[in-house]
Structure 1
Amino acid sequence: MTKDVIALTQRMPDPWAMLAGLLSGGPDKLVDTTGEGAVVRLCDAEGRPLVSVEAPLLVQVEGEAERLLGATPPPLPYWWTEARATTGVEHAERLAGTFAARLATLADGSAWPPEAARSLAVVETDDVTVAPTPAAARPAVDVLTDKVAVVIQDRPVIAMTAWLSDAFRTAATAELGLQIVTPPGTTLSPAVRDSLGNWPSRWVMRDERDGYYDGLTGAVLRWQDGMFAPIASPEATPEDPRTPLAASYQDATATDERQLAVTFRAVHPADESLVLGGALESLWRELTGGPPAGWGTAEPANLPFSPRQITDLARERAPEPTWIVVVGTPDRPGLATVRINRTKAGVEEEVTLMFGYGADEEPPLDALHSAAELLATRHRLQSMLVQLRKARRDLAVPPRFEGPGVPVGFVLGAEEVHQMPDDRARHTPLPQPPLPLGPKTRPAMYYPFPGDPSDLTGWQDFERLMRHLKSA
């Protein structure tokens, strides 16, 4: 049975009253709120969390339930309410499923997955109590060691939900890795993949042939020394610590679908007139013809895209960083993660953006030059790298090998060009000279590359360019 259940309803639910009504022990004993009322958690007599219920989220962005759950939601706007049951406790799984079923019935909606929310019966709650402090202050994990926190997820797309984002933050604060264990057939949202780069955090796939393997690298894994770690190949040596690759990871199939990936950094003066998100919106419009559809501080993205609201949130959280996710429309898959930091240089935006294209769709490579010039002249661009790769149109990250991207273009901002001595930014070892962007007296530079996804030699030219620009 699944560990996560979700109610998608037309009317705003009252999950706190609903949860109390499900339990035989009574709401005074069993129900409490944490996170300023955002989460209800129940624990057993030993203090172990059984079920966590998130505050209902009003979704105003088309396509998020389809993208993340493969479910058909009510018409926009609708309410998204998640309940997570602790893995391996049947009592908890039944409680979460019954909660979602009742919520869907009373608030006019549906529950996902349907098989997890069939019973409306009251669940016995002997020895269940509210989560004590500090247990209520941290998300429930399935295994906790002195090295990692392990969570088991069973949903079609592992998204950066509010719960999972909290788990990442809690693990990082405790100096632990976060390892996500999933069954075959699962994919990752790019937002989660980008958060798994720090060892020993991993995406752990269950597999019939090899037991467990890393969904991003293919390394066969075993539980050892308190965490999932790669096993050593018989041919491994201290100089070459190779590990075997899972057969499932190597079951890659050729695809004509492609992804266009853009990473850029912009630095703005920290003044009252600053509006964040404008650079991303401008780039999105240049490459798709329209603005982003929605944004949020987690997935699903629930709010219509608004640079003003993004700016207000970043100001409210400063000097702490702000992380958001931005999504496109169902007919043009797009997803960006944005990290906003206040630094001595000003306010920095670090953006990772990707769009997906089918076999009969052409990525807008001809628009890259004008898009780069727009960012360089109006949005204080520092640098930008554009890549093209053969990968899924829907942007989901599969647990198998996908070829790397190849560079299509690199942009160096006007201030960075100006600070380089000897006109180094203009005279490079590349066969094609850079294209100036903006005013002739203080231009940015655009460095084009061939951008053939089947030819990785473009990275050699990119490395030559980087060595040249960084040389003393």
Structure 2
Amino acid sequence: MTKDVIALTPRMPDAWSVLAGLLSGGPDKLVRTAGEDAVVQLCDEEGRPLVSVEAPLLVQVAGEAERLLGAAAPPVPFWWTEARATTGVAEAERLAGTFAARLVSLGGGSAWPPEAARSLGVVPSDGVGVAPVPAAAQPAVDVLTDKVAVVIQDRPVVAMTAWLADAFRAAGEGGLGLQIVSPAGTTLSPAVRSALSAWPSRWVVQDERDGYYDGLSGAVLAWREGMFFPVAADDSTDEEPRARVAATYQEGVGDGGERQLAVTFRTVHPADDRLVLGGALEAVWRELTGEAPAGWGTAEPANLPWSLRRLTDVAHERAPEPTWLVVVGSPERPGLATVRVSRTKAGVEEEVTLAFGYGPDEEPPLDAVPRAAEVLATRHHLRSMLVQLRKARRDLAVPPRFEGPGVPLAFVLGAEEVRAMPGDRARNTPLDRAPVPLGPKTRPALYYPLPGDPSDLSGWQDFERLVRHLKGD
């Protein structure tokens, strides 16, 4: 049974309905709050949590329930209320389901998964044991060792929820990796994929043939010395270590005609009280899709309608600490971006990773890429930009299967970076095609076109030659 149960209701669960849901565990269960009162926990007699319920989230962005749960939701706006049961306690999982069922019975809407929220009856839970502290102290963590925190996610899409973001943060502060365990068939949100890049964090996929494997690399895994670790291939040696690759992972090789256009860029703005953030991302989004982003949030689901002012206010309130954001497009044009806003010596920096998905009968707007680059270079203090085209899913979900790498379509160097280079190094490169100047002739940015053929990885050789040349190597 799933550890997470989610109620999707058209009306906000009020205090009485939440209390009614919590009391489904019986009057002997204790209620307490955590996370600055953002999480309500139903505990046993010793104060250990059985079920943790996050504060209801008002979702005002269409398509998020469908994207992350594959579930139909009430029309926007609707309320998203998550309950997470303590791992390995069947009664706790039933309590979470009963809680969601009571919310839906009182407020309308639906619950995910449907089979977890069918009963309104009281769940007997006398003498139930729960996970020991400190694992139970962090609702998102199921197993805690001296090397990693392990999270079990039985959801269609492992998303960067507020709970998972807290788990990443807590693991990082404790010097631990985070390992996410999911069943076969689950996918990752791109927002989570980038957070798993640091060893020993990894995505652990359950598999009938090989037990477990890394969903991003395919390496077969085994639990050893307090963490999931790659299993060596039969021909692996100490001089040339090599992990065994899961057969299931390799079966994903193929080309269904779907593509992704991926854009990463960095801007640095002068620190000013009048600064409005998010404008660079909106400009690129409009150039490539003809519309603005649909919504954004500080976690998934993205719950707020797109607003530059509100986004700026959130980043300003969190300064000087960095702010991480997720931005999504409309269901008709899949798009997702992550944004990191941070204060540096140079000013206020925005790091953006953006991708759009296209089906076999859709053409990525490659002719709009130079226009998007020029807008960034002339209006939004662009420092650098890389555009890639890759064979990958239209819905942007990351499957636990092999997907070929992207190939570079273009690289852009901002005007300040061009100006800082000695002589004509930025203009005279070893590439066959000369860079295209963008913006004023006296202070241009430079656009370096690259092959961009997803079937030919040699474009990375050109990109490497370019970067080495620009660095003066």
**Taking structure 1 as the reference length, what is the TM-score of the superposition?**
0.97
Residue aligned with 1:120, SS:
coil
Shift of 1:42: 2.9
Aligned residue in 1 for 2:314: 313
CA RMSD of aligned residues (A): 1.8
1:408 aligns with 2:409: yes
Deviation at 1:32, TM superposition (A): 1.2
Q: Hey, what does 1:64 align to over in structure 2?
A: 64
| One-letter amino acid matched to 2:405 | P
Q: Label 1:265 to 1:94 Cα distance change in 2 as closer, same or farther (>3 A).
A: same
In the other structure, the counterpart of 2:347 is 346
Contact 1:187–1:397 (Cα < 8 Å) also in 2 = yes
Q: Measure how far apart 1:296 and its partner are.
A: 0.3
CA distance in 2, matches of 1:248, 1:213: 9
8 Å Cα contact 2:22/2:42 also seen in 1: no
8 Å Cα contact 2:135-2:141 kept in structure 1? no
- 3-state SS, counterpart of residue 255 of structure 2: coil
Amino acid at match of 1:271: D
Native 8 Å contact 1:203 1:214 kept in 2? yes
CA–CA distance in structure 1, aligned partners of residues 61 and 434 of structure 2: 43
Find the aligned partners of 2:226 and 2:203 in 1 and give their Cα distance. 16
1:19 corresponds to: 21
Q: Conserved in 2, the CA contact under 8 Å of 1:16 and 1:31?
A: no
| SS across alignment from 1:248 | helix
**CA–CA distance in structure 2, aligned partners of residues 18 and 310 of structure 1:** 35
Letter in 2 for 1:25: P
Q: How does 1:328-367 map to 2 (within 5 A)?
A: 328-367=329-368
Return the offset for 1:137.
Answer: 5.9
Q: What is the match of residue 216 of structure 2?
A: 216
2:248 alignment counterpart: 248
SS in 2 for 1:455: coil
Cα drift, residue 75 of structure 1: 1.0
- The corresponding residue for 2:259 is 258
Q: Distance in 1 between matches of 2:293 and 2:140?
A: 33
SS in 1 for 2:264: strand
Measure, in 2, the Cα distance between the counterparts of 1:161 and 1:324. 12
> What corresponds to 2:203 in structure 1?
203
Counterpart CA distance in 1 for 2:388 and 2:298 is 26
> What letter matches 1:439 in structure 2?
P
CA contact (8 A) 2:12 2:79 kept: yes
**Could you list the runs of 5+ residues in structure 2 that have no partner in the other structure?**
none
Moved more, 116-125 or 386-395: 116-125
> Residue in 2 aligned with 1:440?
441
Deviations 1:50-71 (A, max 9, x none): 2111110001001000100111
SS in 1 for 2:341: strand
Q: Which residue of 2 is the match for residue 273 of structure 1?
A: 274
CA distance in 2, matches of 1:138, 1:271: 38
Distance 1:450 1:241 in 2: 34
Instruction: List per-residue Cα deviations over 1:213-250 (Å, max 9, x = no partner).
Output: 00000000000011000011121112211011000000
Aligned length: 470
Residue 195 of structure 2 aligns to a residue whose secondary structure is coil
Quick one: which amino acid aligns to residue 233 of structure 2? S
TM-superposed deviation, 1:17:
1.3
- CA distance in 2 between counterparts of 1:293 and 1:261 reads 18
Q: 1: distance between equivalents of 2:255 and 2:134?
A: 49
Tell me, yes or no, if the aligned pair for 2:84 and 2:139 is still in contact at 8 Å. no
- Which moves more between the two structures, 138-147 or 339-348? 138-147
Q: Structure 1: which 5+ residue stretches go unaligned?
A: none
Q: Provide the rounded CA distance (Å) in 2 between the counterparts of 1:465 and 1:63.
A: 40
Where 1:11 maps in the other structure, the secondary structure is: coil
CA distance in 1, matches of 2:129, 2:323: 34
Q: Provide the C-alpha distance between the structure 2 equivalents of 1:402 and 1:97, rounded to a whole number of angstroms.
A: 36
Q: Is residue 2:184 matched to residue 1:168?
A: no
- Following TM superposition, by how much is the alpha carbon of 1:273 offset from its aligned partner in structure 2, in angstroms? 1.0
Hey, what's the Cα distance between the residues in 1 that align with 2:140 and 2:128? 15
State the distance in 1 between where 2:308 and 2:137 align. Answer: 31
Q: Say which SS state the counterpart of residue 446 (structure 1) adopts.
A: strand
Deviations 1:329-388 (A, max 9, x none): 000000000001011111100000000000010001000111100000100000000000
Task: Please identify, of 324-333 and 232-241, the stretch whose mean Cα deviation from structure 2 is larger.
Answer: 232-241
**CA-to-partner distance for each residue in 1:286-325, whole Å, 9 max, x for gaps?**
0000000000000000000111111101110011110000
Task: Write the distance in 1 (CA, Å) between the matches of 2:404 and 2:235.
Answer: 25
Quote the Cα distance in structure 2 between the aligned partners of 1:273 and 1:284: 23
Question: Shift of residue 19 of structure 1?
Answer: 3.4
For residue 425 of structure 2, what is the aligned residue in structure 1?
424
Q: 3-state DSSP class of the match of 1:168?
A: helix
Partner secondary structure for residue 20 of structure 1: helix
User: Is the 2:89–2:128 contact (alpha carbons within 8 Å) kept by the matching residues of 1?
Assistant: no
Cα deviation, residue 128, structure 1: 7.1
Aligned letter for 2:176? L
Identity %: 76
Q: Residues 127-206 of structure 1 correspond to what in structure 2 (within 5 A)?
A: 138-206=138-206
Correspondence for 2:86: 86
| d(CA) in 1 for partners of 2:436, 2:163 | 45
Work out the CA distance in 2 between the residues paired with 1:186 and 1:23. 30
Alpha carbons of structure 1 residues 133 and 271: separation in structure 2 relative to 1, 3 Å = farther
C-alpha displacement of 1:2: 1.0
- Kindly state the Cα deviation for residue 44 of structure 1 after the two structures are TM-superposed: 3.6
Contact persistence 2:94–2:123 (CA under 8 A) = yes
TM-score normalized by structure 2?
0.96
Counterparts of 1:52 and 1:20 in 2: how far apart (Å)? 10
1:241 counterpart letter in structure 2: P
Q: Do the aligned partners of 1:177 and 1:199 also contact (CA within 8 Å) in 2?
A: yes
Structure 1 distance, partners of 2:405, 2:397, is 15
